Amino acid sequence: MKLKQYIIHIVLFVLTIFSTLVAGALQKGINIVAEPSRIVEGYPFSVSLLAILLTHELSHYFASRLNHTRATLPYFIPAPSIIGTFGAFIKMKSPIINRRALVDIGASGPIGGFIVALFVTIYGLSHSQIVSIKNSTGGLILGDSILFSTLSKLILGTPPEGKDVMLNQVAFAGWIGFFVTSMNLLPIGQLDGGHVAYALLGQKRHRALSVFLATLLALAGTLRILLYNSLLEQSFLYSIKDYLWEGWLVWAFLLYMLGLSHPPVIYWEVPLSRGRMIMGWAALLIFILTFTPAPFRVY
């Protein structure tokens, strides 16, 4: 590959380093316009998040190479957001040969990123603290996955009434890492989890599962929006509002637009080895452990 073919990847990665440094600095309350030199104080968040994303995408890349599937290097997407990026992706430039390759490529990224996110989360939580929220005037509450909640209780304990866990930059990057992992592992369409589900379940079951889950996400998002209506406060459904997220409606729409089907592999008859079966089901278990029903709530 010639040097000029690397330029776009390098430029986007450098820009994403900058944008995540900005995000990390802003999380610490730093005014980077007044004090631009303090942008470097956002490095704990930037390094932690980029390590997770880079591991995820490079795992896809090397799995593709090992399975003789052409793929590009990662494209990172800088963004003016609370985390400084819209993530990263690689482009597949040739068909995936068989189900073994499909599991390798689909599961390797989330599993690799998850391992890094796990260490980042444990380190971050061990340096986070429990603070009082009684006098808080408003803010953003992050939802819990099974794994993040368990780790938080093991490391910090259960916060007493009127208090909650204040995540530091590294722990927040770990939370984002779990969230990104679970979103990629949704067993729908051509997401990473969709690749794995297609290889394990076959075309018809994959299609049925994709339609069912996308519809379920759409219903969950719609129901959360409807529960903003005070007329429904007496409904039994109102008690589950904190376990729903209106953003699922947007995700469902995007998934329908991208397509819920999966293109066939060239040689379907090549069976999955026991190791690939374990790898695939391990990826779906990671999805269950990291899935957050209501990722964001404003109070």
- In the chain, pLDDT over 90 holds for what percent of residues? 74
Residue-wise pLDDT for 251-289, tens only, equals: 999 999 989 999 999 999 999 999 999 999 999 999 999
Q: What is the spatial distance between Cα 186 and Cα 271, in angstroms, rounded to a whole number?
A: 23
Average pLDDT over residues 163-167: 86
pLDDT of residue 243: 78
Average pLDDT over residues 116-133: 92
| Structure confidence at residue 207 as a pLDDT band (50, 70, 90) | very high
Average pLDDT over residues 157-186: 92
Average pLDDT over residues 195-213: 95
- Residue 198 CA to its chain's centroid (Å): 20
Q: What is the spatial distance between Cα 292 and Cα 290, in angstroms, rounded to a whole number?
A: 6
Average pLDDT over residues 105-128: 97
- Residue 281 CA to its chain's centroid (Å): 18
pLDDT of residue 161: 82
Given a cut of 80, is residue 176 above it in pLDDT? yes
Given a cut of 60, is residue 231 above it in pLDDT? no
Q: What is the pTM of this model?
A: 0.92
pLDDT of residue 162: 76
Which ranges of the chain does DSSP label H, i.e. alpha helix?
A: 3-27, 43-66, 99-126, 146-156, 169-184, 192-201, 203-226, 247-258, 274-290
Q: What is the spatial distance between Cα 163 and Cα 172, in angstroms, rounded to a whole number?
A: 18
Residue-wise pLDDT for 9-54, tens only, equals: 999 999 999 999 999 999 999 989 889 899 999 999 999 999 999 9
- Mention every residue, 6+ apart, whose C-beta is less than 8 A from residue 123: 170, 174
| Structure confidence at residue 227 as a pLDDT band (50, 70, 90) | confident
Residue-wise pLDDT for 81-102, tens only, equals: 899 999 999 998 999 999 999 9
pLDDT of residue 47: 97
Given a cut of 60, is residue 298 above it in pLDDT? yes
Q: What's the token pair of residue 23?
A: 């995000």
Terminal Cα-to-Cα distance of the chain (whole angstroms): 50
Given a cut of 70, is residue 137 above it in pLDDT? no
Query: For the chain, what is the mean pLDDT?
Result: 91
Q: What is the spatial distance between Cα 136 and Cα 131, in angstroms, rounded to a whole number?
A: 10
**CA neighbours within 13 Å on the CB side: how many for 123?**
13
